Structures are given as C-alpha cells and as structure tokens.
Chain A
Amino acid sequence: MAANYEYEEAAAGEEGESGGYDPNYVADSVKSFVVHMYRHIREKNVYEIHQMCETSFQSLSERLFKETPWPSVEAIAPYVDNDHVFCLLYREMWFRHLYARLSPTLKQRIDSYDNYCSLFQVVLHGVVNMQLPNQWLWDMVDEFVYQFQSFCQFRAKLKNKTEQEVALLRQHDKAWNVYGVLNFLQALVEKSSIVQILEQEEDKEHFTSTDGYDYSGGSNVLKVLGYFSIVGLLRVHCLLGDYHTALKWLQPIDISQQGVYTSVIGCHIATIYHYGFANLMLRRYVDAVREFNKILLYIFKTKQYHQKSPQYEQILKKNEQMYALLAVSLSLCPQTKLVDDSVNSQLREKYGEKMMRMQRFDDEAFGIYDELFSYACPKFITPSAPSFEEPLVNYNQDAYRLQLKMFLYEVKQQQLLSGVRTFLKVYSSISLAKLAKYMEVDESTLRTILLTYKHKTHSVDSNGGIISNADIDFYMNNDMIYVVESKPVKRYGDFFLRQIAKLEGVINDMDRVKLE
C-alpha cells in the first residue's frame, strides 16, 4: 500500500479544542517573532528572514504550539500594522504548521486554499516588492501541491463523511479544484517569464548566478515562485499519471547542471525523484538510474549537514524511496557501469537479496516489484470531483491501483527476458534450434522472445532516435544468434590528459624549490 507522505492523516481534528487553545492570546515571544519578521521583510533582510523561518518558527512551535495552532492572524495583525501581504504570509505559515502538527478540518483546508489564492493573486499582479529566502518560496509551492494532493485523497474517502461535510464539499466545489491548482502554477510560470529568462541566461539574464535573488533593488518573489512552479507542475503531472507532459514541463531546467533548484535541498530531491520516477514509467531505465545515482551520492555526502533542519526526515524518507526505485530499475534493466561504488554498496545492503529475487521473475518476484513500487511511488490522485450519489464509497486508492497495475503489466511482459539473458551470457554464438531446446520452447516462440528482448532493451529517446540499454546484446543471421557483449571502454584519452597536467604541476613545483 502507498506509504503516507510526511504528515499524519487521522480523522479530522477540532479547531480550538486541545488544551484550552485561545486563538486570540499572543504570548510575548510570539509578538516579538512577528514584529521582527515584519521588520526583516520590510528591510529585505533575506538572511534574517531565513533564520526566523527555519529556526525561530520551529523552536517556538516546539515550545508553545506542539498541539495547538499558532494565534489567529487577527490577533497578531495589530502588531504588524495590519499589513495585508504580511498577514497572507503569516497565514501560509499558520496552515503549514497546522498540517504538520495537527489534522486539518474540511473548513480549514478550504480556508487554506483561499489563502493561497489571495497570496498568489497578489504576487501575480506584480505588486509585491519583497525579497524572500528561496527556502520559503520553495516551501510555499511544495506545500501548495502537497495540500492539493492531500485534499484529493481526503475528498475521495466519502464513506465516513458526515452530512455537513458532504454539504460543505458540494458548496465549495472550487476549493482545490484541479483546474484552479494547475492554472495558478501555470500562471506563475508565465507571468514570471521564467522560461525565457532561463533560455537567455547565457547572453543577458542573470538568474542562476544570483541564485534567483534580485540585487538591483527589485523583488525575487515572482521569478522564483515561477521557477519552483515548474517543479510543481512536474509533480502534479506525475500525480495524475501523465509522465510525458511532466517531463516536458521540466525541460527549461537543465538538471545536468547546478541551478536554483539545487539551492534548496528539498527542491533538488523532489525534482530528481519525480524525474527518475517519470523516466521509469516511460521505460527509460538508463536515464532514471543515472539521475538516481547522482542524487543518492549527493545525499550520502551531504546529509550530515542537514541533521538539524526541519527537512531532515523528509530527506531520509525520499532517500529510501529512491533506493527502492533504483533497485527496481536495475532489476528491469541491468547495467554494470552506471552506479557509483558507495551507492552500490548501500543498494546491495538494502535491496541486494530482493533484487536477486526480482530478477527471477516468478510469482514471488512480482510480489517484490509490487511491494517496492507501492512503497516508493508518489501518492497518485483522482482529480475529478466526486459524484455524491449513494452509496458513498472510498475511491482514494483507485489512481494508485491503476498505476501499479500498468507497472506490473510491463514487468510481466519482461518476464521471459531474464531467461534469455542468462543464456546469452554463456554463448558467443548459438543456433536458434539449440537455444530453443534449452529454453524448452519451439523456434517460432523463441524468435518472438528474441524480438521482445530487442524491443524492450531499445528505447525511443526524446528526439525519436533509438538507444540501446542492453548490457548484453545479439543479432541474428537467418538461424544463428551471435552474442555481442558491450565492454566498458577504457578512456585512455582523459587519463593521459590528466597525467600531463599533473606532471606539469610537479615540474613547476620543483622549479620553485631553491637549493641551498
């Protein structure tokens, strides 16, 4: 079954119940927090804003708001000149805290959507003149998509809904409507002209080099929200099962390079996770393996630096999920040279045995493919509004079940290939008749198996060309099969270049040495 995302999704909690929560009471530390935050935002002190979001907000939440929401926006508004935009930002953090620590009611979910609408409208009308930390801007887009996904799951569980909830759902049919969500993300991408900015980076635009920040007195908010919305659209399309379009949206961002997406680790991981998953479903296994390898190596080297951050748990979770996806990809498309040693040893540790069993393609193997896919896949959604006809059922698993079924169907088609691979490893040439006898099939069946092998190991790349993913390949001449093993090519050229440069360095150093 699909694992839960970061937060718990228990039955709807009550507003203002736990431990005598008074939404109007503002502790001194909270007053101080909002006053300082407001000042830092007005003064465009990005570093301080970042510290307040990452550290102060978390420690205050831990100390005072472990089981209750923060004070209502009406209560803190007087301390910040009733600033409209600040109040929208405060409410964004308020709801994010609610989703993380408590369970939102239906009314709260709807209110949160309204808040995002208002906030994005303000940004889209271009009246915002702030510089906000990338981490916060990413958190906004990330949370927006997360709450949408959460709402679709929530809405699809109709069975135990009360009459009031059903009435409220019917009444507020625009809240978290899929058109609304997608159009907002697209509007942010378009209004910010981020695609054109990224295209013109070589000549005149400076976006990546400044990490998206505007050093000429302007605002980074629209541009960076537009940029992160690209990743948002990648994510939503994966949730819908449209992997081709998901990757198309991501195209403006060059993931072979550093960029603003790597400036926030949560964004970096979300981008590569969804890129890899989409490629896996598109059967472009090599592309998936390559990117999973890179990010897993990166996390391996850098996770110690994020131990204190609020994103740490999520980083670890995604790390584990990507190892599972890597195990699946390599079982479907064995590769010898794409995975780094440190990643490979972790992979063997976690999934070595399961990978062996998956490559047997028997019933047990399908069970493992099912298990790993279900553990690691995104939480797919049914985007359409429910029909409220009796009997009310839960259909929140439908989308996931469809994607799982399609995936296992593909796995099943590849069932015969591992048998062929074993024989191809052993022979340099063999007649069809002989191989058919060993595999206990007739010749014409063997021909179809060999064609399947060719088809499944040769994928169509984004330009329409054919690339071979086969670690071991063959060709046929009438009735004979000739095996071709792809040997890893030794790169002598690079080796010599490096050694030449190194020797030059040593000679220069020696020249500098003065002898007594």
Chain B
Amino acid sequence: MGKEIESPQEQSSYTVEQLVAVNPFNPEILPDLENHVNEQVTSQTYSLEANLCLLRLYQFEPERMNTHIVAQILVKALMAMPTPDFSLCLFLIPERVQMEEQFKALIVLSHYLETGRFQQFWDEAAKNRHIFEAVPGFEQAIQAYASHLLSLSYQKVPRSVLAEAVNMDGASLEKFIEQQVTNSGWIVEKEDGSIVLPQNEFNHPELKKNTGENVPLEHIARIFPILG
C-alpha cells in the first residue's frame, strides 16, 4: 500500500488542511473532517477542499454518512455564492439522500438564489428557519451575494429592489445602506432614494480593460535590432 495509516495521536498534530492535502484517501480522517465542519460553522470560516474530501469519504463508505453534517456543508456552500460550490457538493451526494426533506428545501433555496429570485428565497428561508438558525453569518452572506449580483447588473438600483433582495426595510435597511456607503462606496441619490452602485467593468462597460491592444514589451524588443 502506498500510504501508511497514522495513529490518531500523530494525526491531531496536523491541521485539517494538511491532512486533506497530504492524506486525503484515508478513512481514518473522517472524524477530523466532521469536527472541522462544526468548527467552520461556529467560527464562520469555510473550507471547500476539506468539505469535498469529507463528501468523497462518505461516497466511499455510505454507511458512515452523517446527513446533519452534509446539510451543514450545503448551507456553508450556499453562503459561498456566487461560486458554484453548492452544485459541486451535490455532485457527490447520492440521489436518494437528496430526496430527504431538508435537502429538498436546500435545493429549492439554491435554485432561487441561482435565478435571482430573492423575494421567494427569503420567503422560503423563513419557512425553514431551523436549517440555518444554527449557522451564524448566514443572512449576511446571502445579503453580500445579493449586493454582488446587483453591482454586476445595475449602475443605479431602485431602493425597493434592493430592499427585496436583502430582505430588509425601515431602520435596518437604512443601517445596511449606511454601512455600504462607508465601506463599499455606495451613494444614495437624494431625489428618489435609489442607490448608485460603485463602478466596475460589469456595470460600466467603458471600464472594461481593453486587453486586446496591450502589446508586451518583449514583443517590441524583438524588433529593436531592426529599428536601431
């Protein structure tokens, strides 16, 4: 066999990242990876590689699959949008597991986020509070995704559209907008309260870097002998 299986004492001296990088095909690390998921939830961190490693091990030994942990992984993946991490995890979860109620709900929620249907998302999320109440930072992560998507699409966005996307109104919406004004360069239009989003190459096409015309110096250097 290629890799020797280390004793638990030796293993705890490696971080989970190291385990995943060095010894990923080892069923002994499964408990460490499961603990790591819990850590990601409580400390608001995220590690795609470690979670994929765990899902793979569940694939190799389905009897050891812990659906609660899988659900947590999916919630964390949802929070990582716009990356496609949620789909990446689903590729590794057998169909019959995906049919369970909690997973069906998560898939529906992912669908709403993928198709920009924020109002339906927040309505559905409210009906399934128990799934993410235990995952701190969930709301903020989705609100960040909503802001991101709006920034790609709008130069100026109506206040009502923003409110629906981040599921806030009144005082909390004001506070949210103020934070973004300070941290992310948002500007509030005085007349109608709509939000001017920061300029980027996706909502301001003139800012798109014109890569076509950049000629590297090395290429010009090749004709120096001719010009000289």
Contacts and interface: CB of A to CB of B under 8 A. Distances in A.
Q: Do A and B come from the same complex?
A: yes
Interface of A: 120, 124, 178-180, 182-184, 186-188, 190-191, 240-245, 248, 281-283, 383-384, 398, 401-403, 405-406, 410, 413, 416, 444, 447-452, 454-456, 458-460, 464, 466, 468, 473-479, 484, 486, 489-494, 497, 500-501, 504
Interface stretch (B129-137, B175-183, B217-225): B217-225
Interface of B: 1-3, 24-27, 48-49, 52-53, 55-56, 59-62, 82-84, 87-88, 90-92, 94-95, 111, 114-119, 149-150, 152-158, 161, 194, 201-205, 208, 210-215, 219-220, 222-223, 226-227
Nearest to A500: B223
21 contacts: A179-B25, A183-B25, A243-B91, A244-B49, A248-B49, A447-B116, A449-B115, A452-B114, A459-B84, A464-B83, A473-B202, A474-B153, A475-B155, A475-B204, A475-B205, A478-B156, A486-B208, A489-B212, A489-B213, A493-B214, A504-B223
Nearest to B22: A190
Given A187-B3, A240-B56, A245-B49, A398 B94 contact: yes
A489 B220 CA distance: 19
A398 B94 CA distance: 8
A458 B62 contact: no
A468 B53 CA distance: 30
Given A179-B25, A184-B2, A497-B215, A240 B115 contact: no
Contact of B213 (A183, A384, A493): A493
A477 B154 contact: yes
B202 A475 contact: yes
B192 to A, nearest CB: 8
A454 B215 contact: no
A489 B210 contact: yes
Contacts of A186: 2-3, 24-25
B59 A187 contact: no
Given A182-B25, A398-B94, A497-B223, A452 B115 contact: yes
Nearest to B56: A242
Contacts of B213: 489, 491-493
Nearest to B53: A245
Output the residue of B48, B92, B115 with the most chain A CB within 10 A.
Answer: B115
Given A184-B2, A448-B115, A491-B213, A460 B82 contact: yes
A13 B1 CA distance: 30
A454 B197 CA distance: 16
Nearest to A405: B95
B220 A497 contact: yes
